[in-house]
Amino acid sequence: MDARKARLAIFLTVFVDLLGFGIVIPILPLYAEQVAGLSTSHWTNAVTGWMNLKDPGAFWAGVVFVSFSIMQFIATPILGRISDRTGRRPVLWISLLGSALAYLLMALTMRLEWVILARVVDGITGGNIAVAQAAMADGSKPEERSKVLGMIGAAFGLGFVLGPALAGVLAGSALGISMLQNHGWHLPFLVAAALSFLASLLVILWLPETLTPELRAKAQAKEDRGHALAVALRAKGMPQLLLIALLAMGGFAMMEGTFSLLAAARFGFGQKEVGYLFAFIGILIVLYQGGLVRVIAKRVPERFAIWSGLILMACALPLLPSLPWKWPFLLMMVPLAWGSGMNATATQALASQLTPAEHQGSLFGAMSAVQGLGRILGPLAGTVIFAKWGFASPYSVAACVVGVAFLLALTLPKPTQGRPTNPDLEEAAVESQYL
């Protein structure tokens, strides 16, 4: 197997797939809110009436957003185990086809039920990034692992910057407007479907199987989430760190799930403008991941970095809904994005130092589980609060949630092990935060 060819194929596959993912994420809440308003039914009316919602569209946008996260939370470790037994190539191919099918369904429907189904399908097959990371690591030596996994981070960064910008261009183009008005077709989702299908073709035509038959034969099922969590909780300081990870991710995801709705409510932004806003956030992520994380990891102690990151988030979140456009609003995104990244990377690093080497796998399994739970609870709570009390409320609640995480962080013990901080590991933590 040509390792360089395999790595390049994986890089291009992930980039193309994440380009489609980046197109969908910024405009999804606006799209779901629009569909919910146009396709009311007895059961949706019954739910919104029972909840007495001020803005039902925001609530259903949250349901659409969270349905993907719930299914991905359940399916990703299963896909990983299947890939250990059958190989990376078939699982990666099927997952990309599932994403293509889901995007196509969203592009051609204006019914809320079909949109929710599409997100469920995409969530079930949406574990392709984890499988791609495993494929990238398969053919690399241990000393090369951080370097080759960094290629996944680069593909992620490029996709998250270019995807939202492309979403803005497509949604605001004459063709996109014409297709939507005349046929009810959403051009950005059609392009995302085509990109995922192209990525699946790259897997079939170019990607060799990276897992040898010998390793497939020896593969064993990984620990389940509950067992990993139980092992991680035994270490001193880990209960606080896991709860901090859950609260910080929940607060950030509360903002992430309502950001498009906030921009629409405050500034009248549509899909085009929101796409550009998310591209700006992607640039901030790339700047932090590309250089700042290394500087902070080397010079700032982990506990201080956690405190600083949480303070930046707690201060930025409640201010965001009230700041005027343009520069005050955009500049406030800097402490929010970088504070979140600082907290996430330092939390991972400190957790690694507090956990024995033989339990590192359990640690990161537990950390992934609680962060996945935060990605589910945050957008769901944020959109419900948005629907009942208006656009500013989720950001005040998110700031309070992050504030509780800061109070917990004050109780963290100093690490007693001399485990060195690995900046490449911390870059991976930044990537996983936004996936």
The predicted-structure confidence for 213-248, as pLDDT tens digits, reads as follows 665 565 544 444 444 556 556 667 778 888 898 999
Higher pLDDT, 10 or 248: 248
Helix residue spans in 87-186 (DSSP H): 88-108, 112-124, 128-138, 145-172, 174-183
CB atoms within 10 A of CB 143: 7
Q: pLDDT value at position 361?
A: 45
Burial of 206 (0-12, 13-18, 19+ CB in 10 A): middle
Structure tokens at 216: 């497939």
Distance CA 186, CA 131 (A): 29
The pLDDT assigned to 307 comes to 92
C-alpha gyration radius of the chain: 21
Q: Do domains 1-208 and 223-435 have the same CATH topology?
A: yes
Return d(Cα 72, Cα 428) in angstroms, integer.
19
Rounded Cα distance, 25 and 347, in Å? 26
The overall pTM is greater than 0.85? no
The burial of 220, by beta-carbon neighbours within 10 Å (0-12 exposed, 13-18 middle, 19 or more buried), is given as: exposed
| 8/231: higher pLDDT | 8
Q: Which pLDDT value is given to residue 133?
A: 66
**pLDDT given at position 358:** 45
Check residue 433 and give its pLDDT. 52
Residue 26 confidence (pLDDT) above 90:
no
Helix (H) or strand (E) holding 352: helix 327-354
User: What was the pLDDT predicted at 404?
Assistant: 96
Assigned CATH for 1-208 = 1.20.1250.20
What backbone torsions phi and psi does residue 360 show, to the nearest 5 degrees? -65, -40
In whole angstroms, give the CA distance from residue 152 to residue 12: 9
For the chain, the average pLDDT equals 79
What does each C-alpha distance from 117 to 66, 71, 75, 113, 431 come to in angstroms?
12, 11, 15, 6, 27
Give tens-digit pLDDT for 108-155: 888 888 999 999 998 888 667 767 766 776 666 655 554 565 566 667
pLDDT digits (tens, 9 = 90+) for 270-307: 888 888 888 888 788 777 766 676 677 778 788 888 99
**Cα gap 269→273, rounded to integer Å:** 6
Express each pLDDT in 41-50 by its tens digit. Answer: 788 788 888 8
Question: 223-435: CATH homologous superfamily?
Answer: MFS general substrate transporter like domains (1.20.1250.20)
Q: Which pLDDT does position 6 carry in this prediction?
A: 73
75 or 99, which is more confident? 99
The pLDDT tens digits of the residues spanning 377-433 come to 998 899 999 988 989 999 999 999 999 999 999 988 776 544 444 555 455 554 555
The Cα–Cα gap between 161 and 184 comes to 27
Q: How far is CA 110 from CA 116, 380, 409, in A?
A: 11, 22, 45
The whole-number average pLDDT for the span 362-391 is 80
The residue with tokens 């500087």 is 295
Closest by Cα among 23, 53, 71 to 372: 71
Tell me if 359 sits within 8 A of 235, measured CB to CB. yes
Cβ–Cβ < 8 Å for 92, 111: no
pLDDT tens digits, residue range 54-66?
778 888 888 887 8
Q: Residue 101: its pLDDT value, please?
A: 93
What lies within 8 Å, CB to CB, of 365 at 6+ separation is: 77, 222, 223, 225, 228, 229, 232
pLDDT in the model for residue 399: 96
Kindly state the tokens that stand for 78.
């299963």
Name the residue ranges covered by the structural domains of the chain.
Answer: 1-208, 223-435
Provide the H-helix boundaries in 173-237: 174-183, 187-206, 213-218, 225-232
Distance, C-alpha 410 to centroid of its chain = 27
Instruction: Say yes or no to pLDDT of 253 above 50.
Output: yes
What pLDDT shows up at residue 38?
75
